[in-house]
Amino acid sequence: MNTINPMITNPILPGFNPDPSICRAGEDYYIATSTFEWFPGVRIHHSRDLVHWRALPSPLTRISQLNMEGNINSGGVWAPCLSCDNGVFYLIYTDVKSRVGAFKDTHNYLVTASDIEGPWSDPIYLNSSGFDPSLFHDEDGRKWLVNMIWDHRKGKNRFAGIVLQEYSVQEQKLIGPAINIFEGTKLGLTEAPHLYKRQGYYYLVTAEGGTGYEHAVTVARSRTLQGPYEVDPANPMLTSHGRTDLPLQKAGHGSLVETPTGEWYMAHLVGRPVKEKHCILGRETALQRCTWSEDGWLRLASGERYPELQVAAPNLEPHPFEPPAEMDQFEEAELRQDWNTLRIPPDPSWVTLTERPGCLRLYGMESMSSTHRQSMVARRLQAFKCEAETCLEFAPDHPQQMAGLILYYDTQDYLYLRVTHHEEKGLCLGIIQSRYGLYDELLEEDIPLQQGNQIRLKAVIDHDRACFYYSSDEDSSWIQVGEWTDITHLCDESPEYIRFTGTYIGLCAQDLGGTRKHADFDYFRYTMV
């Protein structure tokens, strides 16, 4: 056992990093996670020791790979699968166009690269029969796609099982019949299939119970690829269900990796509620150490089925990475990779770091309700206690022009400290909130500001609440704006339907009149307290 750095601390990928797919290539470990409507598509993290992780460039950076303009909330990229075979990386992903109601339009694609940092190919279309596709490389060289299949019909089990179909590398398409190899267990909602082969058995690892508080990992096995698959008699192999005392909830959606020395780990999804069942950071990624029982079933090394905050690290040399800088002074020509944009890629027509060197310039576009063209640059909220700060220069001349600092979940839920123009007050500052789709302005009256000055804006987050501050001078003290505000609505749990992303914090500008008024941001600082 590694005595220098013996423990993995969960979650290993805090903040919005759901649906992990883990793989090893030589001495390097990679995890791909879902990004939903945020661009670029698919988040990839890298490690050499399974303890320390760093973000790599995302693979889906072009509209030819991922066109999400108009995608619904919590649409876009679902549950990628990353694998490596004979020096080639294979990335399978879903672009979800509709998901609410009887139907789901879920288009599945494959991209490849010889280097994990790209360039990645344009996509090969696979199918649209369901979501959570995964590619299995068998020992004989053949490749097989598995995905859950969606049945829209009334009275049917909509999670209709796991379907298997061969993929031809030469023809770049699926070939042969699609066979339903596993209909799931009584836990239901069978999804997220991954196939592995060990000691003569094919192991099918799936998620069941839904991605909420009844989430679980189910394992089944068969001597033949096409089944029938026998379910683990101790199923579920991993879950948090029934243990409300656990700090890691929603455990499920697992994938496996083996070290060169034969140690096994499962990457899986978790959530950490801050109040009741509200997970403002979204669904995160954790790692559990695994063993195999004498009769060949996968078990957690703890002997339990519940996720642990601390697990033993593998016998690998520690390999820490330099943490990203807290301050971004916008001195580079391109955005740092911790920034994301909504649905559309960053484009000089609306975001630029070169037009005014040392500043991020945003040209105002559509409102926070838009699923098409929002001018927003944001990063994941990754800690329950943190601060974010920026400095804004903005000269609006109409109430339809706004810019500022935003806490954003989706078009239904956000909290926004914004600068705008008032017909009588001129330049002013206020707070906009949307809570489950209901718009509100949290100050009785906006605060007048001096025209032509830069203004510093700050957000302080403490678990289930947030507070905003401003300063009109670099040497001035911070002035509180409004009261501490409940932010538990910035979470997966909505009264209408479950959502799948997480809270972001960032910078945005709107010009609802279409005149594209710009805002300049001098810096952005994100600090975990």
Judged on CB neighbours under 10 Å (0-12, 13-18, 19+), 261 is: exposed
The tokens 């239901």 sit on which residue? 188
E strands in 395-517:
401-410, 413-422, 426-435, 438-441, 447-448, 455-462, 465-471, 479-486, 504-511
Dihedral sign from CA coordinates of 24, 306, 290, 308: positive
HEC string for 31-72: EEECCECEECECEEEEECCCCCCEEECCCECCCCCCCCCCCC
Q: Quick check: helix, strand or coil at residue 226?
A: coil
Which residue from 495, 501, 453, 446 is spatially nearest to 468, judged by alpha carbons?
446
Task: Respond yes or no: is residue 393 known to be catalytic.
Answer: no
Judged on CB neighbours under 10 Å (0-12, 13-18, 19+), 438 is: exposed
CA–CA gap between residue 211 and residue 250 (Å, rounded): 7
Task: Respond yes or no: is residue 19 known to be catalytic.
Answer: yes
Q: Quick check: helix, strand or coil at residue 263?
A: coil
Beta bridge partners of 386: 461, 528
Of 19, 263, 492, 511, which residue is the catalytic one?
19
Of 49, 191, 284, 393, which residue is the catalytic one?
191
- Please list the active-site residues: 19, 191
